[in-house]
Structure 1
Amino acid sequence: MTEDKYDVQADGQRVNGTVKWFDPVKGFGFVLSDSGGPDILLHANVLRNFGQSSVADGAGIEVTVQQTTRGMQALVVHAINPPEGAQAAPLADFDDVDPEVMRSAPLEPARVKWFDKAKGFGFANVFGRSEDVFIHVEVLRRSGLADLQPGEALGIRVIDGKRGRMATEVTAWEAALSQS
């Protein structure tokens, strides 16, 4: 789970919901509130303020919303959770790795070197280290994200795996900074 570390209070109501869809190229998407009601507009700038450039369709999300003349809009993202069932599909790269080792790996601040969603992978660099860290698209999905942009700041849990240094989780930048 990715959570904000700042208790940003904005005028509005805190809502739990599910990402209906989000298109980083268009710069927006929509959230369905768990309590029903109209779709909630999620603008890319609101997501970027949380430290992410994308969010996976079906991801759980906690946002502060406000009614505007154009409908309900998200003002602040507080948390992003992986889509239901995201942990169900095994990732062969981690078959031989103890799940406790993955969970206990430190969360480290990093920047995206490049990521190609069509290829299904990319690389990041942890600050202060020269080696690349492999990021699989399935790890993004399990982290509640859909895509990464070059230069984007992240928090990642890294292990030594079948492909060398590999990310097992991707979070907001602020989460890694608070643990380093």
Structure 2
Amino acid sequence: MAEDLSSMSQVEGQVKWFDPAKGYGFVVSDQGGPDILLHVNVLRNFGQSSVADGSRIEVITHRTDRGVQAVEVISITPPPRNEGPVLSDFSHLDPEEISRHPLEPARVKWFDKAKGFGFANVFGSDDDIFLHIEVLRQSGLADLQPGEALAMRVIDGRRGRMAAEVLAWEAAVDETERRPAADLSAET
């Protein structure tokens, strides 16, 4: 059965809320109208298992008898960053210095949203990298699942090795492809 293309549209808006435990949340369209259901499977197809509340999002929607649903995520932009460092561990670092650290491929070892932290391992290393929930929020994520692929900028913080920025794997690949060749050669 062919989908009725007239019931589909591309929408920009803001994540009202998303609950990874429930597996869904809602988006508010910039043009108004009913809230748009965002299911975790649609996010997973984009390469993320969660999204931070307040993130800007662009989706393809489908209008059904039960309401409007997102069927594809086009882009996600994290919520605006607060002025100053995300954590006191970063207060002595220049944000430009942090952004010069290379993105490192990693997998989530475990993350507990209620505790507000977890750990990941950079590929090829058993060393634990500390992940703080505030770093996730500033990076546009709300939660992480064990085994989830990420890219992280890792620094030596006051409490050891820790993630200063976390990106979903697909977002990191896109960012690397957009960077000028001169920037990439400086990392090798």
Both proteins in one fold, TM over 0.5: yes
| 1:101-156 Cα distance to aligned partner (Å, 9 max, x none) | 11121122211001111221111111122211111110011011111111111121
CA distance in 2 between partners of 1:64 and 1:81 (Å):
16
1:166 aligns with 2:162: yes
Structure 1 residue 89: Cα displacement? 6.0
> Structure 1: which amino acid aligns with 2:18?
F
Distance across 1 between alignment mates of 2:152 and 2:19:
23
1:29 is aligned, of 25, 29, 43, to 25
| CA contact 1:61–1:77 (8 Å) conserved in 2 | yes
* Equivalent residue, structure 2, for 1:4: none
Provide the rounded CA distance (Å) in 2 between the counterparts of 1:48 and 1:132. 25
Question: How far apart are the structure 2 equivalents of 1:16 and 1:103?
Answer: 27
Question: Which residue identity does 1:138 align to in structure 2?
Answer: E
User: Which residues of structure 1 form unaligned runs of 5+?
Assistant: 1-10
Which residue of the partner structure matches residue 82 of structure 2? 87
Q: CA RMSD in A?
A: 1.8
Q: Which among 114, 135, 151 is matched to residue 147 of structure 2? A: 151
Cα separation, 2, equivalents of 1:159 and 1:79:
27
Q: Among 101, 104, 108, which residue is 1:108 paired with? A: 104
Tell me if the contact between 1:29 and 1:41 (Cα under 8 Å) persists in the aligned partners.
yes
The amino acid across from 1:87 in the alignment is: N
TM-score scaled by length of structure 1: 0.86
The residue that corresponds to 1:121 in the other structure is: 117
Gapped runs of 5+ residues in structure 2? Answer: 177-183
* Larger Rg over CA atoms: 2
State the TM-score, normalizing by the size of structure 2: 0.82
Q: Sort the Cα spacing of 1:67 and 1:78 in 2 relative to 1 into closer, same or farther, 3 A.
A: same
Q: How big is the shift at 1:14? A: 2.1
SS, match of residue 129 in structure 1: coil
> How many angstroms apart in 2 are the aligned matches of 1:169 and 1:13?
32
SS of residue paired to 2:172? helix
AA partner of residue 136 (structure 2): L
Classify the secondary structure of the residue corresponding to 2:15: strand
Match of 2:38 among 16, 39, 42: 42
SS at match of 1:49: helix
Q: How much identity, in percent, do the aligned residues show?
A: 68
Matched, 1:13 2:13: no
The structure in which a higher percent of residues are helix is: 2
**Pairs aligned (count):** 169
CA contact (8 A) 1:159 1:168 kept: yes
- Provide the C-alpha distance between the structure 1 equivalents of 2:84 and 2:145, rounded to a whole number of angstroms: 25
**Which residue type is aligned with residue 83 of structure 2?**
A
